[in-house]
Amino acid sequence: MDEFMQAAIDEARLGRKEGGIPIGSVLVRNGQIVAKGHNKRVQELNPIKHGEMDCLNNAGRQRTYRDTVIYSTLMPCFMCAGTIVQFKIPKVIVGESRTFDGAREFMESHGVEVVDLDLDECVQMMEEFIEAEPTLWNEDIMEL
C-alpha cells in the first residue's frame, strides 16, 4: 500500500479512536502531503466535517488544487465530491466503495479521475464501524 493511503487510514483510525466515524483523507502535491484530516462530525458537532472536508480545511488557502491528488478511505459523498469538483482536484484515490458507493459517477462526469483500490482493510474498518454504530452511520449518510 502506498504511504498516502496509509496516512489516510491512520487518520480514519484516529477519528474512530476519538469516538467518531472512521473516514480519513490526505491531500498530496508533488509526492508530499499537504494536509490530513478525518471525519469530525461527532467530535466537533459539525455536520459538514467529513474526512475530505476536514483535510481541505486543514490545507488552508491554496493557490490551486489542479496539481493535487486527494486520497480518501471511502468513496466521497456528494458534498465532498462537489468540493472536489469545485476546487478542480483532478484525481481521487479511494480505499473502498463497497460499504458506500458515494458520488463516483458525479465526479467522473466532471472530469475527475477516480481510482478505487477496493482495500480489504478499508472495507473491514467500515463494516466494523457500521455494525457497532448503525444509527451514527445512518445519520452520517442521511439515511435516518
Positions annotated as catalytic residues are: 52
HSE (CB half, 13 Å, CA atoms) of 50? 22
Alpha helix (H) residue ranges in 2-133: 3-17, 41-44, 51-59, 78-86, 104-109, 120-132
| Cβ-Cβ contacts under 8 Å for 121 (sequence gap 6 or more) | 1, 9, 95
CB 93 within 8 A of CB 112: no
Look at residues 82, 83, 77, 81 and name the one whose alpha carbon lies nearest to residue 59.
83
